[in-house]
Amino acid sequence: MAHTKSGGSTKLGRDSRSKRLGVKLNHGQQAKAGEIIIRQRGIAVLPGKNVRRAGDDTLYAAVTGMVQFKDAKKKKFDGSYRYAKKVSVVSE
């Protein structure tokens, strides 16, 4: 009789693969059209000028230019405001 349980029947030792979310291009960096700026779930960072949102909420550059981050006030449905980051691409 084995003195330890076999490795195949354990209920531990599983985890999902990392999704590689986060900022890919920072403030002041050059972005080409179509290049991913932020990978995110939900809209933690809002798209600004010349930035589009993909189906999985990824933000990408619509034109070639310089990446800019800024704080913006966003009006909520009840009339109150929340502060949010907004990313834009400024073309030359």
Residue 53 lies in a domain: yes
Q: 61 is written with which tokens?
A: 């550059």
Angle at 11 between CA 7 and CA 14, to 5 degrees: 90
Q: Where would I find the H helices in the chain?
A: none
Residue 9 φ then ψ, to 5°: -100, 5
pLDDT of residue 9 exceeding 90: no
pTM: 0.81
Q: Summarize pLDDT for 45-85 with one digit per residue, the tens.
A: 999 999 999 999 999 999 999 999 999 999 999 999 999 99
pLDDT at residue 2, rounded to an integer? 66
Determine the Cα–Cα distance for residues 18 and 30; give it in Å rounded to an integer. 26
Q: Which positions ≥6 away from 20 have C-beta within 8 Å? A: 39
Q: 60 is written with which tokens?
A: 């990408």
Domain that holds residue 56: 20-90
* Structure confidence at residue 25 as a pLDDT band (50, 70, 90): very high
Residue 79 lies in a domain: yes
pLDDT of residue 8 exceeding 90: no
Residue 9 lies in a domain: no
Residue 82 lies in a domain: yes
Read off the CATH number of the domain in which 72 is found.
2.40.50.100
